[in-house]
Amino acid sequence: MPFADLREWLSALEKAGELQRVTTEVDWNLEAGAIVRRVCETDGPAVLFEKIKDYPAGFRILGAPMAQSRCHRYARLAIALDLPPESSVQEITESYLRRRKNLIPPVLVSSAPCQENLLEGAEIDLLKFPVPLIHGGDGGRYIGSWHTVISKDPESGWVNYGMYRLMVLGKNRLGGLVGPIQDFYRHLSAYKRLGRRMEFAVAIGTEPVTAMMSCVSVQGKKSEAEVIGGLRGKPLELARCKTVDLEAPATAEIVLEGFINPDETEEEGPFGEYTGYVGGRQPRPVFHVTAVAHRKDPILTMTSIGVPVDEDHVVMPISNAAEVLEEVRDRKGYPVNFIYVPPESAMHFWVVSTKVPDKSYPRRLAMAIWSTKSGRYANYLLLVNEDVDITDLGSVVWALATRVHPVRDVWQVPHAYTSILVPFLSAEEKKSGDGAYMLLDGTWPAELSADEVPKVSSFNRLWPEEIRKKVLARWSEYGFER
């Protein structure tokens, strides 16, 4: 059954050994961020801080909610999708795609847990919540690092869910990083063109699938709320906001409402980012908060992102790769077996296993991937044949080093749209997201006959099946651990 709220999911994580409660007092000023960063770098469990310095009992912080696990790499993501913790990346992806096809519209509810408490006007003070100063050198305290930002297109009414970092500028003001590659930026640009301010809502501490989908570049202009319903197998419950014409997840821990004046900016940043480097300080849009709703004893969710691997590198690669896989395999009919984005690559190195029907296919496939919303992150794209286990980093490095000709199999594409946070971009390129792509074609040429394709020297390839079965059956007898 899908989780009704964050608290139900935390109970499931705890039952699976994927949650650590910290009852000793922890300082919001760098200590919590340092602990969560260390958890991410050691594949530890999610951590719930239950006593925060300077804050009353009941106010809590949840860190590393979907970072990778020591026992099973994608355990917390699997549990969020109501799958066994030991599910493989392929099982998670294919389950995602099956559910993804069945969109379920959200439902409005009249009574919402997120509105148990309401602050408006002079009552608003964002630092009433234990907003952490996460990284050393951050430009401020970030209330939005694992959350959902909700906006609406002024012309079509299409509602988008996204995740854009939010720094506290004052009692009722936030600064947010919004790049030209993102749908929120397009919405804001439309409001600017119309000479109108843009309303927003921010949901913090939602049930897990909502936060997960806020990291995903859903292909086309689909409602993320409907996709969330499909993934959960049950409609997402929404509540009407109090001061803006938007709806927010009804069981969220905290909901912020407000507006943006498209021409107004203030300095935001720096902040440790998903690429593993510190993102800079620049003028960014200002989010004016007109209302704050929250549950009793609210839980503020956060991630201490940095050098892979953490939430961004677990959730974004699987879900975004699944979106592209559906587009190129299921809709366009390319004979793609699987797409995997190694978490260590910070979303910018993609690997595809595929059949190769003809000589022009690798470049056609590459262009199809780069044309998708999620595929624009694939600055480096490696294609290999189906015999390579692309979820195993060792196999990927082996295939790259032995199957990609350093000249003939490399295709460089300049002036391609990508994330403004990629460190290799120049200052000028970051203004517009003017990046570049590279195809590394590690597939054997289509014209090679079966006899001409080099044979792989491995246990599964060179020995007869009966010998392999015999060796595996006697493995313990030989004295080895299974």
Mean residue pLDDT of the chain comes to: 93
Among candidate residues 226, 273, 323, 326, the one labeled active-site is 273
Of the candidates 83, 152, 421, the residue with the CA atom closest to the CA atom of residue 277:
421
Residues 428-475: tens digit of each pLDDT: 888 888 899 999 999 999 888 888 989 888 888 888 999 999 999 999
What is the Cα–Cα distance from 381 to 410, expressed in whole angstroms?
Answer: 10
pLDDT of 482: 67
Question: For residue 481, what are the contacts with CB-CB under 8 A and spacing of at least 6?
Answer: none
Is 327 catalytic? The answer is: no
What is the Cα–Cα distance from 218 to 133, expressed in whole angstroms?
Answer: 31
pLDDT of 207: 97
Span of 268-272, 341-345, 477-481 with lowest mean pLDDT: 477-481
Question: For residue 31, what are the contacts with CB-CB under 8 A and spacing of at least 6?
Answer: none
Residue 117 pLDDT exceeds 70:
yes
- Domains of the chain (ranges plus CATH)? 6-302 (2.30.110.10), 332-442 (3.40.1670.10)
pLDDT of 66: 93
- The structure's pTM equals 0.90
Q: What is the mean pLDDT of residues 397-423?
A: 92
Residues 365-393: tens digit of each pLDDT: 999 999 998 888 899 999 999 999 999 99
Residue 323 pLDDT exceeds 80:
yes
Per the listing, tokens 């990927």 go with: 396
pLDDT of 123: 96
- Which has more confidence, 258 or 482? 258
Residues 49-71: tens digit of each pLDDT: 999 999 999 999 999 999 999 88
Residues 127-182: tens digit of each pLDDT: 999 999 999 989 999 999 999 999 999 999 999 999 999 999 999 999 999 887 78
Please count the other Cβ atoms lying within 10 Å of the Cβ belonging to residue 308: 21
Q: What is the mean pLDDT of residues 306-335?
A: 87
Of the candidates 20, 34, 64, the residue with the CA atom closest to the CA atom of residue 208:
64
Burial (CB < 10 A; 0-12, 13-18, 19+), residue 460, is exposed
Task: Assess contact for 204 and 145: CB atoms under 8 A.
Answer: no
Q: What is the mean pLDDT of residues 81-90?
A: 94
DSSP letter string, 452-467: TSPPP-SHHHHS-HHH
pLDDT band at 421 (very low <50, low <70, confident <90, very high): confident
Question: For residue 254, what are the contacts with CB-CB under 8 A and spacing of at least 6?
Answer: 114, 129, 202, 203, 204, 205, 292, 293, 294, 295, 298, 300
pLDDT of 346: 87
